[in-house]
Structure formats: structure tokens, C-alpha cells
Structure 1
């Protein structure tokens, strides 16, 4: 081989990205016309664009599906059946792309809440692509991650119900790229929230970094997207507020009418003495200080009898008719059209706000009772959960364990609690926090939830152990499925596919087909083997159901027949010519 041929071969074997390859072609070309065209293409590729542009990377698990069909096999040894309910949850072992592919057959448009905590791609052995960890020196580090996430998120969107919500935890390593990717997949108008969750404090080594001039990261993102309805809050959350809002300075006294709150305090000798003993004047700024440290004052202010008569003055009302106006007074508060109203000194109606409606139990780490405010996109205080995080679920998990309180609140706030069988999916299940969150919400009577977890075989033992631990506290029903494969070129493909429909039926309906009163019928011969007197429900292929004669249909009249979709393996059978 000549040196020239050798050089050409070495050049052709180099791995180029698109722009590098164009530059290589330009350098090698001797044709001015070709060079001009190539330079034009290069300029177009280098021109500024809005949105994500990245180098696509093939993935082994996706390539595998070109020759093999993923199916689920049940590991019956790991089945848990301790709940009084007959509804089942599911733990899916295998690459989550395969699991999502199968869920696309069973749960298209049926998942109400998705929570995922994907690899953050820190370069510290947290993200594996094609069986190799992606380190921080990999020049395709971000494009591999985006290729990985895009495939899974596109399926996730299909799984979401009409009013479903997906929550994704991420930090600033990939957060900004993820935001653009989510905009492309779900539509930028369907972003419901960019939550900023306080996950750590400026303490320990972080404190030294901060003192030396670094801006220390204490929050992470949780992005929320929907399929169209971005008003996702069904049950609002509250944050506690320290001190006393001094705008609430009026008191509706039964005998004296509207007076200053400080006058009411002066008339209560026990409460007044608390101020005097603290060497404070009886006024609103002093109340703000004292209520934070003095339980006597705090309990008095928060008591129903007192707090319901403390008010702050609001805005003038212009829509009060003359009849209602005649009933109003400047001396006492009146409830009018769902508002509290009094007359001001000019005899104009003004709205006022009741202090009682400002206090309640907050959704913070301590469930504090007192003043609170509606939570926005800043979710504070989850660094407090860190102290117990390692012990949550009774399992250790090296990286990425999320606070149970966080996931419980995400699920709770976007569901009303009145829905039946809310399907919650986590396909980066990690230690299984989502499952425990779901079971605790059920146990607290905050809703009716079922979970599906998907995890790879590297951490699945940890996930399953947490299910065992949860079951000791809150009994559950769980089926454990593992991904297996059927070769597309096998001779008996249809028979093998039909034998694997049972797992998909169980997954779709959240049931256990091993119950004696439930049966699955793929072919008419299966029906002949059944003692119909003991059967309450039959899951039957639509094709088989249509072929039954009148006599058989009469025998089945008292049995609940549920169709098995022909779409479960329709595409695979069509490709095989079946």
C-alpha cells in the first residue's frame, strides 16, 4: 500500500462531526466550484439558530429492537400480595427504553403523573451510554445525553393522559439543554413550571467556597410539562412565614366595634404583661418580634376566637348595590358576597382581610402551624430533609436519592385526591422513592394511586428491597417483571408473542391473572378448558371474541369480558408477515 493510500485510509477512519468533516472536504478538494458550495454549507451550519442542535448518537438498546422484540417475563418469586385491594403495582427490570416501548402498548395516554430523576451527566460516573460511563472529557458528552433523553421523553409524552403532568429533576449541568429539549417535544407553551428546589445549605465545605467568592449551588430544577393544561395545581401548597404581618392591625371588638389591635392587647392583662416583661412597647413591630419567641402570645393570636376578629384594611369596593350598602357599618365587619366588608370614615365600602384565613398548617419540613403563604416556584427547605435522606426507605443509595416529601408533594399538588386509580410512572426509579411516596399518600387517604417503576439491573435489587421494606409499613401488591427478548426471525413467532400477552394485560389493567376467578383467552381452545361457573372475568382477544357462536356467548352472558387489544404485537406480527 502506498503512503498516499495509507494517509487516505487514516483520514477516512477519523471520526468527524459534521462541521469538521466539511472542513476536511474543503481542505482536500481541488475544485473551486465544489469548495464554494462546501463553504456555503459550512456557513449555514455555523449560522446562529434557535433551539437545540446536537450530534445524534445511536444507542445499542434501540438498535437491539431491530432484530429482537422486547417482552416482559414475571419473576413470581418477587411478587408481593399483602394489600386487601386487588389492584397491583409494577416494578420493571431492564433498560427503560425497552420498558417504555412496552408501556406504549399498554398505557398510551393513560399515565397521570410522571416523575423522573435522570442522570445529571456530571462526568462523575453517573451517566452510562452504550455500556460506558461518559466522563467530563468526552467531547460528545452533552449530545450523547440529549440523544439518550430525547428517545425516552418522546415516548413519555405519548404515555401522558390528557391532563397528565411530567416532573423532571435536574441541575445546571444539563438543565438548560433539557429545557430546550422539552420545549421541542412538549411545546414551549406547555411548560407548567420551572421549580427551584432548595436541596442543600451553605454549610461545611460549601461555606468555605462561598467565603472565598464562589456562588454556591443550593438549588436544583424540577421542570413540569403537560399535554396542554398548564394550570396543574389542584391542591395548593403553603410555606410558613416567620413573625407577624403587621398590616393586620385592626380588631373587631364585640362591644367597642373596630379598634386597633394594640388596644385589644392592652385590655388583655396577661398578654400585655408578656410585652412588658420583654421590655417591648405594645405595638405591631413588637408583636412581630414577640410572636416568634413567646408561645403565650402566639397561642393567643392564633386562637380561633381572636384570629377571626383580626383584620387588615383592603381596597375600596365599587360594585356594592344600594340595598347591601344600607346594611354596612363602620363599627363592625359584615360578610357580603364572600368578602368581609366595612365602611371607612368616608362611608365608602372597603374590603378587609381576616387574619384567621392567613394562618394554618404549612407544608414545610416541620408542618408548622402559623402564618403561611401560597407556594410559588421556589420550593424552600428541602435541605432539611437531607438529614434523614440516607435512611429513607431503609436502603442506601449512593447518589441522587430524592426526599420523599418532595415527590409526595409533587404528586399531591397536581391531583385532586378524588380521582380513581391515578397512574404514577417513574422510569428512572433509583432507590424507589416514588413508590414509597405513592403508598404513603394512599395510606394518608390523600388519593387512590398506583405506581409503575422501571429500573436497570444495576440498581434493581436496591429498588426491590425498598418495596419489601415499604410493605412492612404499608401493605402493597406488587408484580415484578423483567425484560426478555424474542428473535424476530424465530419460526414460531406468533405463538411466542401470544404467550407473552398475559404480562401486558396484567400491566395494562393492574391485575393478577393468576386469580382463580380470572382467565385469559387468546384462542377459542383456551375457552374450552375453563370451568365457566367459577369465572367472573375473562380477558379475551378481540379477534377471538368476534368468532364465538351464539351458544358460547350465552354461556358468557354473566361474565365480564374485557378485550385484549390486537395492537399489543400487531406491528411485530405485520413485519413478520403474520
Structure 2
């Protein structure tokens, strides 16, 4: 630790204030100034009183102190560049270094641009999971909470600046700091921007340890705090589902003596004959068809007839299994009125075709079936289930208790060992699916084992999305190189994508006391340009121009792409013709290094 570094810069501020007021109080008593005595006594009491809200003693951090004289920069480790997808120009990024330095640089490239942040910070359990100023913080440290809050406050404040107006942040946390984290995030993001606190079941509580002498209940959940940048502009999150494999679900129903409803199968939908038409509430046509020679069978009967297991029946007839219901719908009464009750029998089957205005089928032609004298609606099993790799899973809406996280083979995920807090892909998958877009940037600045990057690549493959990730981690115990990067490299055969690996370095301002600092910083522009645009600098949509000759050659050879962005040195002067050419091509100009390092150059 540096010699003159003061970790607790405000250690004596309050004590000094109290002592000063007490000295005034002593003098007032000696002078018998009763009115002053009363007021000073009240002031001492107030100085000892905590107001509502989160109060902690701020602690300084060496990595932040370093930035007073050293400017963080990125340097690419070109040997770790991965070009896994030749068909894509997009790149993902792994940033090695203290995450405060990485966040500082991301403020230059991604302020207001990150849509989703997920982090799994140290839980501050006192079991060597949290270091502050290169020392582990344990429960004997009376400032353990203050140090953790100081650490998190700096990083979460920057995280909020990075979020877009539609951005959302998810933070995993345990019991030790859950309450303090909630108060801290209320202060930084605003209490009105708190979406949810989700309880995530992460282990089984079965069995007892310590001979049954434990005084506390077994811990089997962690928490996920969810905040928006702005609740007024944040999108509506997608519903989260718990998935249960169908044979497992049916066995659970049998063991608990619960009736299972989805047992009917429409094997043949019969001949479709146009019957009549009615209209919905907006006057749009609803076509009605009578169905003849329809064939129904039960799941059990099909299992016997075709020598199939129950599971195989649900897989084969996935789209044909149903249960009938009496819906609260404005459509059914209109259809019933048009058909006429007198024309319905127990065996009647009708279908309708229309374009719903709301719901999961909004805006597309949809077919519904009705059956019997009361015209009961078919509720399809496929609307509450899904097929995944040929297997059938029942979906149930999960609220703020997620107890269906798949923890099987967690240690093997990604082909890397990570004993301290490896997050399951199933959890990350749920989080990513909550955000209602498939083309967005996700940041994880406590990247650890790289689960977030793995989950992004996996979900893109699953739904054809174009999500991009930025991961930040230090390289303590070579975690960045031998765990995070290794995992992202391991998955390339199944989930090919592009990756750049940047390491944090520093430019010492004391070594460049004059204009030479600007020249030195020019050497570190390329990684920031690549990071901001998510590309390799060979991409023609972005160019770095350091000389007039370079610009002249690009224009003469017609190598500038329309709509491109040029990062241009201030010593490059444009004549009238060049300005006109750039204007015609709708080129955006940004001055460097001021664009990225203006604050450092002019402070």
C-alpha cells in the first residue's frame, strides 16, 4: 500500500466536529450562557443521530487513487483474438483489469448505450470472497460493510450512467449484503425504478449438518435485485417460465393424486366446411367453419394402440393435445349466436379463423376450435408447453420465486473449473430472455467464470438474436486467461462468435508533462474505437485518420463508406472540396484524442 495513502479520508471529520461543539459547550457552561448551552447540547445530540437511509463511513480505494496520476487505457492482446464467425462483423469483448478502470473507460465509449447489466459481485460473507485494497475483508473487520458499500457505490454509479433509457440492471446477492444493497441501489437508481427482488433457489436444503446443532435455517436461496434506469421508458419485461419435463410432471401429479387435464387428442381435424361469418368488436370478420368426421382419442388410448410411452405420445401429438374450457371471451358469444344453440349437439365441432387484436397471437391469422352443445373452447397444450431438442416441457409462470433453476452439471458448464460462485446457464438464460429485444448489448463487470458470455452466445443460437456482450474481470490467479477466456474459447465449436481481448494499462501523466501527453494517448485510440462500435478496426464503417495524406488517399480511392465515422486528429485540416465530399457521404467526424480523453487532457 502507498505510504501516504489514507484509506479512511473522513475518519475524524465527525469526531472533530463533535469535539469542537463540546468545547464550545464547555465554554458556554463556564460563562453561564444558558441559552447557548441548550442549543449546543441539542447540536451534539443531532451530530450523534443517524437520519433515515443508508449511512456508512466512506473508504478510499487504491485503484481509484491511481487514476489521479495515471490514465487507464486498453491494449489488445492480439494473440487471444477469436474470429469464430466469419459471416459477422460484430465483436464481443473481454476486458482484463480492475473493473473500476474498465468501467471508467466504458464511460467514454458506452454512456447511455448498455441495455442490460448483470453482475454477481462479492457477497461479503467474510470467507475470503471480498478484497479491499488488496486485503481480504472478514467478519472481524468493523468496517466490513462500509468498505463493501464504498466498493459497490463507485461501480454502481458508473453502471447507471452506462445504462440506456430502456436499460435494466440485475444484481445477484446473498443474505449478508442484501438489505444494504437494496438501500444503496434505491439511492443510486431511485426507489421508483426498483422492479423486483427475486428469490432464486440455488441449492437443496435437505439433510442436516453439524449434528443438528445449527441455530440458523439452511440457506438455499440467493437474491436478484432488478432496477431500471427509468421506469417510464423501460420496456415491459417478458414473462419468466419454469419448465418441467412432461414425464417428470405427470409422475408428480400421480404421486400427489392431482388430476391432469391435458389428456384429449384431436387425431384428425376432419373436413372443414365454411358455415357463416360474424365480426369482432371492431367489425373485423370472423369466419366460422363446421368440422365433419373429426376423430378424438385419449392419450392413454393412443399409447396402447401405437405402443408408445406417455412421453412419446406428448412428443408426437404435441400440437394436437387439448382440454376444453368455458372462456370469458367476447368472441364465443358472437360465434354461438351466429351458429344458433338449436344447431349444436354433443358431437358438434366448429372452428373459427380471425386476427386477434391482443394476446400471444396478436396481429396474425389464428384458428380456434369449439366442441359440444355449449361450444367449449379448445385450450391447446402447446400454448402452455414447449419442445426443446425433441423433449416436451410444461411451462408455468414464475413470479419472484425461481425454484426451477437447472443446477445439473453446473461444474462442467463451459469446460472450466470455478469453485467460487459459478452461475448456472439456466439462470442467465432466464435473465436474458426477460429483456424483450434480441439485439442489445449486455455488460457483466464481475465476469468470473464467463457464464454471461456463454449464455449470450447460446441464446443467439437458439433464437437467431444479435446480442453482444462485454465482460470485465481481473486476472487474479489468472482467472481472466485460464477461466473466463478459456470458457469463451471452449464453446466456439458449438457457439462460434467473435471476441477481442483487451488488457488495462496506464499512461502516467507525470511522465508526459506537456503536449506530448496528447501524442502518447493517440497510441490507445484504436481499442476504444473498436469497443464503442463493437467491431475490428479493419471494418470500413470506422476509420482513424492521423494524417492528411491518409484522408486524401481514402477519398481518391473511393474507400470511404457512406455513413461511416472518422476519428480524426486535430492537425488534419480539411479543404472545402474534402468537406463537401465528406458531407455528401454523410460522414461523421470525431476529434481524437479529445473525444475519448478530453477530461484527462484538460484537467
Q: TM-score, normalised by structure 2?
A: 0.74
Tell me which residue corresponds to 1:64.
66
Q: Distance in 2 between matches of 1:424 and 1:367?
A: 30
Cα pair distance change 1:43/1:519, threshold 3 Å: same
Could you tell me which of 399, 407, 431 is aligned with 1:376?
399
Residue 311 (structure 1) aligned with residue 336 (structure 2): no
Q: Is the 8 A contact 1:93 1:457 kept in 2?
A: yes
> What's the CA shift for 1:87?
1.6
> What's the CA shift for 1:18?
3.4
Cα pair distance change 1:483/1:376, threshold 3 Å: same
Q: Distance in 2 between matches of 1:306 and 1:155?
A: 48
Query: Residue deviations 1:146-204, cap 9 Å, x none?
Result: 11111111111111112121111111111111111111111222222222111111245
SS where residue 30 of structure 1 aligns?
A: helix
Taking the TM superposition and a 5 Å limit, the aligned residue runs for 1:490-501 are: 490=512, 491=514, 492-501=516-525
SS where residue 142 of structure 1 aligns?
A: helix
Tell me which residue corresponds to 2:280.
none
Q: Is the 8 A contact 2:10 2:57 kept in 1?
A: no
Q: Is the 8 A contact 1:135 1:141 kept in 2?
A: yes
Taking the TM superposition and a 5 Å limit, the aligned residue runs for 1:34-183 are: 36-37=38-39, 39-47=41-49, 49-84=51-86, 85-183=88-186
Taking the TM superposition and a 5 Å limit, the aligned residue runs for 1:216-227 are: 216-227=218-229
Q: Distance in 1 between matches of 2:226 and 2:519?
A: 42
Tell me which residue corresponds to 1:447.
465
Q: Distance in 1 between matches of 2:429 and 2:394?
A: 23
Taking the TM superposition and a 5 Å limit, the aligned residue runs for 1:18-417 are: 18=14, 22=18, 26=22, 30-31=26-27, 32=29, 36-37=38-39, 39-47=41-49, 49-84=51-86, 85-203=88-206, 214-227=216-229, 228=231, 229=233, 232-234=236-238, 236-240=240-244, 242-243=249-250, 246=259, 248=261, 296-297=309-310, 300=313, 304=317, 308-315=321-328, 325-327=337-339, 329=341, 331=345, 332=348, 352=377, 354-357=379-382, 359-361=384-386, 369-382=392-405, 384-385=406-407, 387-417=408-438
SS where residue 483 of structure 1 aligns?
A: strand
Could you tell me which of 559, 563, 566 is aligned with 2:589?
563
Tell me which residue corresponds to 1:574.
602
Tell me which residue corresponds to 2:503.
482
Of stretches 47-56 and 214-223 in structure 1, the one that deviates more from structure 2 is 47-56
Q: Is the 8 A contact 1:22 1:38 kept in 2?
A: no
> What's the CA shift for 1:471?
2.9
RMSD: 4.2
> What's the CA shift for 1:452?
1.0
Structure 2: tracts of 5 or more residues without a match? 1-8, 271-289, 291-295, 357-366
Cα pair distance change 1:295/1:559, threshold 3 Å: same
Between the two proteins, the alignment pairs up a number of residues equal to 525
Q: Is the 8 A contact 2:530 2:536 kept in 1?
A: yes
Cα pair distance change 1:197/1:477, threshold 3 Å: same
Cα pair distance change 1:36/1:16, threshold 3 Å: farther
> What's the CA shift for 1:438?
1.6
> What's the CA shift for 1:511?
1.6
Q: Distance in 2 between matches of 1:514 and 1:78?
A: 17
> What's the CA shift for 1:428?
0.8
> What's the CA shift for 1:342?
7.0
Q: Distance in 2 between matches of 1:26 and 1:89?
A: 59
> What's the CA shift for 1:327?
2.2
Q: Is the 8 A contact 1:113 1:165 kept in 2?
A: yes
Cα pair distance change 1:48/1:519, threshold 3 Å: closer
Q: Distance in 2 between matches of 1:103 and 1:117?
A: 19
Q: Distance in 2 between matches of 1:208 and 1:333?
A: 64
Cα pair distance change 1:140/1:24, threshold 3 Å: farther
> What's the CA shift for 1:504?
1.2
> What's the CA shift for 1:213?
6.2
Cα pair distance change 1:220/1:38, threshold 3 Å: farther
Cα pair distance change 1:321/1:171, threshold 3 Å: same
Structure 1: tracts of 5 or more residues without a match? 1-12, 258-262, 274-293
Cα pair distance change 1:410/1:367, threshold 3 Å: farther
Q: TM-score, normalised by structure 1?
A: 0.77
Q: Distance in 2 between matches of 1:370 and 1:455?
A: 36
Cα pair distance change 1:46/1:76, threshold 3 Å: same
Q: Distance in 1 between matches of 2:383 and 2:535?
A: 45
> What's the CA shift for 1:430?
0.8
Q: Distance in 2 between matches of 1:154 and 1:14?
A: 20
Residue 533 (structure 1) aligned with residue 533 (structure 2): no
Cα pair distance change 1:207/1:325, threshold 3 Å: farther
> What's the CA shift for 1:472?
4.2
Q: Is the 8 A contact 2:416 2:487 kept in 1?
A: yes
Q: Distance in 1 between matches of 2:390 and 2:193?
A: 32
SS where residue 402 of structure 1 aligns?
A: coil
Query: Residue deviations 1:389-442, cap 9 Å, x none?
Result: 22222222231111122112211231333x3xx211111111211111122222
> What's the CA shift for 1:516?
8.5
Residue 506 (structure 1) aligned with residue 530 (structure 2): yes
Q: Is the 8 A contact 1:521 1:539 kept in 2?
A: no
SS where residue 472 of structure 2 aligns?
A: strand
